[in-house]
Structure 1
Amino acid sequence: MEPAPESFNPWTVVNVVFHHLAAQGLHPTLGGADPGAPAAELLRALGIEPAPEGDRQVGENVKRHLAEIRAAIFGDENGSM
């Protein structure tokens, strides 16, 4: 079975890079150019498909956590607590 292709939100890359630069004492600014497009190209170069919905693994973790909360509050799938 082949694993699902990786996806990642390009804006997350922009955020990480900006925070890294700021931690190094640099002060990046958003100006006239959209940094999302170069971030998406960087992801493609790394073999990761840019996806506006974000990181697939993060989404799966959120779904799993919500299922755990539902089970804790409402009981299992059969309705028992």
Structure 2
Amino acid sequence: MDDNEIHARISALVAEEHRLRSGSPSPEEHTRLSELEVALDQCWDLLRQRRARRDAGEDPDDAQARPVGEVEGYRQ
């Protein structure tokens, strides 16, 4: 995925998240919201990796999505 594709994916995920949060989410929708949060974290991480590689003079296409456990385990 290139940066534009990642941004498009983020936009789609955010739109779905907003739609689900606009009402009173069902238990299934709460589950989906959790999935969306994880997917967004992975997309943002991938975008940061690509930017870091580009800034370091490396090929951003070598960046890969990290496993959920790794991305979700980052300290803020």
**What TM-score does the superposition give when structure 2 sets the normalisation length?**
0.36
Find the structure with the greater CA-based Rg.
Answer: 1
- Structure with the bigger percentage of strand: 1
Q: Which has the higher contact order (CA 8 A, sep 6+)?
A: 1
Normalized against structure 1, the TM-score is what? Answer: 0.35
Structure with the higher helix share, 1 or 2: 2
